[in-house]
């Protein structure tokens, strides 16, 4: 039992929503084509880096180690701290390191949010099968419609009949 005034250790809070349960929307994103559509993107990316780091149960040293192994180049906790700091404009994360961070933390939802800013969306793993199935069914409907149209226009072939 703790006595009054004892220091209670603070534990890291885990994310209340599992990243794998975040919904995917089929609403097509708008492409970034207007002036300033991507203004402040460096800060937004830094915020996503921070979310990926905070949402992971591992510490930043361990995440940096996993990224280092994946990239076969050194990544340190200090680098991750700098990448996550929105105010440190001179320390932006490279594309390769951002992809490594997403892969290590499995926060594909964050990469999807970034992709949607430019008019794209992200499918992960088995989701590709679902998208391919939808594409094949759309092609099947087009072919069925074309076959129906041809059936109405086609006449039997009669050769040699007089």
pLDDT tens string 141-152: 999 999 999 999
The C-alpha atoms of residue 27 and residue 147 are separated, in whole angstroms, by 31
Domain coordinates in residue numbering, the chain: 40-121, 123-154
Between CA 71 and CA 14 the distance in angstroms is 27
**Model pTM above 0.95:** no
String of DSSP letters for 44-58: HHHHHHHHHHHTSSS
Whether the pLDDT of residue 10 is over 70: the answer is no
Q: What is the pLDDT of residues 38-57, one digit of tens each?
A: 999 999 999 999 999 999 99
Q: For residue range 86-98, list pLDDT tens digits in order.
A: 988 888 999 999 9
């Amino acid at each position: 039992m703790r006595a009054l005034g004892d220091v209670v250790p603070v534990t890291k809070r885990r994310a209340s929503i599992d990243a794998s349960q975040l919904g995917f929307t089929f609403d097509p994103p708008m492409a970034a084509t207007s002036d300033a559509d991507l203004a402040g993107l460096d800060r937004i990316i830094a915020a996503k880096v921070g979310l990926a780091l905070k949402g992971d149960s591992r510490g930043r040293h361990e995440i940096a180690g996993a990224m280092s192994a994946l990239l076969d180049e050194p990544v340190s906790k200090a680098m991750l701290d700098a990448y996550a700091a929105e105010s440190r404009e001179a320390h932006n994360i490279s594309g390769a390191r951002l992809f490594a961070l997403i892969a290590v933390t499995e926060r594909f939802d964050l990469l999807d949010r970034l992709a949607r800013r430019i008019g794209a969306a992200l499918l992960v793993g088995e989701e590709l099968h679902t998208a391919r199935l939808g594409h094949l069914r759309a092609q099947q409907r087009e072919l069925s419609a074309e076959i129906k149209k041809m059936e109405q226009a086609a006449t039997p072939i009669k050769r040699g009949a007089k």
